[in-house]
Chains A and B, each alone.
Chain A
């Protein structure tokens, strides 16, 4: 019973490099989200998806792109990494209902040098 799985768990990049974070969920959830967590700021929404083939911007989308080609997967891309993107990234999924809790992955710790 995996729930939400994020890969990789840790990564160090140099400024200007690109990479993709993968999120996979096995609960058949419609909604998926990418958040970033920075010290003293809680979690902030980067992008989200309300279903396969759809994506939309959250509060802090600049510098990121996403894709939801399959219902179970939600990819977060950094085209040209910047030190300001050093953060812990969490993926989450939920059922199609406002009162359902979001299920989170274990997070990806990303450092940009």
Chain B
């Protein structure tokens, strides 16, 4: 079964705190791709990162970092020194299995992050 679970529905932190958003996935594919998207209050979806299943190096981009662990089927997202502008809903997504031919994404239910000043 293809599934993405974001167990944290809502997280509230105070500015400058570090916060980690969890993502656990299930797939039958041996090669797959994972994505994170940000949805700010304005509503659009902004692509943050793509990770392929055969590259387990963690990635850092400024205050953002991603920890991919194939052994636990997790792809967690950490924001260091959070800022009010980080307040948004964050979605983790998984590529469709190869044999479907769809190239669509399976999304988690999202985690709403609120950063208080």
Contacts and interface: CB of A to CB of B under 8 A. Distances in A.
Interface of A: 31, 33, 35, 40-45, 48, 50, 56, 58, 88, 90, 94, 96-107, 109
A43 B35 contact: no
B43 A107 contact: yes
Nearest to A102: B105
B19 to A, nearest CB: 20
Contacts, number: 62
A40 B103 contact: no
Interface residues of B, number: 26
Nearest to A40: B109
A90 B110 CA distance: 15
Given A42-B108, A50-B101, A104 B44 contact: yes
A94 B32 CA distance: 16
Given A42-B107, A48-B103, A98-B95, 4 more contacts: A42-B6, A50-B102, A94-B103, A101-B35
A50 B45 CA distance: 21
A98 B33 contact: yes
A64 B95 CA distance: 23
Contacts of B84: none
Nearest to B96: A98
23 contacts: A33-B104, A40-B9, A42-B91, A42-B110, A43-B91, A43-B105, A43-B107, A44-B107, A48-B102, A48-B104, A88-B43, A97-B103, A98-B32, A98-B33, A98-B95, A98-B96, A98-B103, A103-B47, A104-B37, A104-B44, A106-B44, A107-B45, A109-B43
